[in-house]
């Protein structure tokens, strides 16, 4: 529905279907193309089976893990061996998540449509040892259907997005030469990179168009259990600012006792942290003015144009925004693969 309400997609064939039940032939028919005529196949399965949040999904497991680590000396200056052992177990197994099978569905569509190139995106934790074997099988399967494949982790803040959002892209081309990753256009302060590049876009710059009170939303006002503590957290900090670790005179929390995003507050002069699709009530990032971010501000932090519309309820819109690939980052990868496809076509024509 979101695609349909945006004019740039009104002439685009849109199929709403379960990809596991959708054939490559149906996709080709909708696109009015034949097998081998497609330029790009672009997609990616839900990230939840591979995300860091998936490591500890059962109720209370995160708290129990942290309690066990503290008891074993796994935090702070505790033995490194114990730190490692405390992190080995994982509640969520991606091999048993039915959504993991969507990797196979992607390869099936790739095989049946035979595009000149493809792009796949997911969270960087798909490279975690728990998911790595599955990821390697996916890469091998893509190569097995005739593609030269490369993968590269990218940070959205390096490509004009006001958000430090790390994702892995897999790109493939028919033939023997795999595409390389795009070059950064922006640098992230305090991180290694190209010194000659302009600095990354800040959160303040990205959400400035939505700052007026006329654009406020009812749910942005903070009330409840941790409201006062959130007000005390400085911009650019999280709950740890109120701990003895940070030198707080009256500590409220113990460092490393909560999720990192707990009471996380944006700094107006720096990029945002990753925007979540379905955050909890005290999961940041929050605005530096001690309120929740507006839907339009979340879209701005993801790099969506101001004119882009989202269909559905407020909750649905926020979920769509949090699940999206930031458009400037996607564009950088697509331009790279498209240029290599064009170069391949010209090479063929010159033979």
Q: Which residues contact 49 (CB under 8 A, 6 or more apart)?
A: 92, 94, 97, 99, 100, 131
Q: What is the DSSP letter of 37?
A: -
Distance CA 58, CA 182 (A): 38
Q: Of 27, 28, 38, 47, which residue is the catalytic one?
A: 47
Separation of CA 297 from chain center: 17
The residue ranges of DSSP E strands in 92-198, in sequence order, are 117-123, 147-155, 166-174
Known catalytic membership, residue 142: no
The residue ranges of DSSP E strands in 82-138, in sequence order, are 117-123
Residue recorded with tokens 């089976």: 49
Record the tokens describing residue 107, joined without a space. 């390869």
Candidates 284, 301, 41; CA nearest to 161 is 301
In this structure, which long-range contacts are made by residues 139-147, counting pairs with CB atoms below 8 Å and at least 24 apart in sequence? 139/170, 141/104, 141/107, 142/107, 142/110, 142/118, 142/170, 142/172, 143/172, 145/107, 145/110, 145/111, 145/114, 146/114, 146/174, 147/110, 147/117, 147/118, 147/172, 147/173, 147/174
Give the residue numbers annotated as catalytic, written as ranges.
47
């Amino acid at each position: 529905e979101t695609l349909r309400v945006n004019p740039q997609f009104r002439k685009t064939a849109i199929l709403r279907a379960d990809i596991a039940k959708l054939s490559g032939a149906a996709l080709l028919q909708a696109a009015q193309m034949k097998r081998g005529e497609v330029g790009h196949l672009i997609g990616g399965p839900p990230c939840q089976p591979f995300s860091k949040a998936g490591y500890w999904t059962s109720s209370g497991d995160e708290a129990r893990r942290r309690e066990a680590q503290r008891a074993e000396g796994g935090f702070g200056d505790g033995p490194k061996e114990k730190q490692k052992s405390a992190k080995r177990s994982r509640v969520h197994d991606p091999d048993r998540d039915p959504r993991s099978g969507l990797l196979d569905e992607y390869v099936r569509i790739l095989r049946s449509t035979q595009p000149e190139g493809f792009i796949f995106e997911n969270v960087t934790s798909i490279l975690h040892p728990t998911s790595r074997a599955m990821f390697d099988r996916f890469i091998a399967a893509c190569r097995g259907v005739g593609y030269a494949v490369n993968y590269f982790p990218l940070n959205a803040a390096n490509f004009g997005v006001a958000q430090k959002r790390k994702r892995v892209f897999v790109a493939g081309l028919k033939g023997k030469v795999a595409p390389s990753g795009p070059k950064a256009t922006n640098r992230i302060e305090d991180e290694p990179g190209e010194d000659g590049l302009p600095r990354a876009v800040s959160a303040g710059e990205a959400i400035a168009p939505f700052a007026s009170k006329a654009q406020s939303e009812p749910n942005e006002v903070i009330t409840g259990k941790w409201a006062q503590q959130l007000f005390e957290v400085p911009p650019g900090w999280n709950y740890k600012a109120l701990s003895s670790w940070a030198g707080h005179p009256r500590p409220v929390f113990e460092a490393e006792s909560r999720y990192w995003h707990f009471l996380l507050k944006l700094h107006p002069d720096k990029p945002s942290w990753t925007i979540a699709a379905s955050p909890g009530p005290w999961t940041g990032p929050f605005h530096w003015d001690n309120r929740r971010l507006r839907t339009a501000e979340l879209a701005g932090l993801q790099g969506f144009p101001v004119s882009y519309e989202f269909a559905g309820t407020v909750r649905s819109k926020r979920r769509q925004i949090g699940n999206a690939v930031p458009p400037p980052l996607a564009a950088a990868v697509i331009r790279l693969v498209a240029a290599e496809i064009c170069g391949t076509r010209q090479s063929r024509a010159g033979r």
